[in-house]
Amino acid sequence: KIRFIMLKFCQTILQKVSFDKELFKKELRKSAGLLNKHELLLLKIWCLTTFSNYRSVIIEVFESAI
């Protein structure tokens, strides 16, 4: 339950900063450091479907995180 809350927290933060590409990238990196591998996969899928305009940023961050 706590882990799910952390994933939801990361999603909320990313939604709030999605107006700025660099801020989004910074927060995505922070989020990647907080989550386990399973949660990272869920976050990656969510990010790619929610923020398709930042696809290259998302791929870059997750390639270095996993």
Q: What is the mean pLDDT of residues 6-30?
A: 97
The pLDDT > 70 percentage for the chain reads 97
Decide if pLDDT at 1 tops 80. Answer: no
pLDDT at 56: 97
Integer-rounded Cα radius of gyration of the chain: 11
The residue assigned the tokens 């995505």 is: 28
pLDDT at 2: 76
Of 2, 28, 1, the residue nearest 13 (C-alpha): 28
- pLDDT tier for residue 66 given thresholds of 50, 70 and 90: low
> Would you tell me how many other CB atoms lie within 10 Å of the CB of residue 7?
19
The 10 Å CB-count burial string (b at 16+, else e) for 27-51 is bbeebbeebeeebbeebbeebeeeb
pLDDT at 47: 98
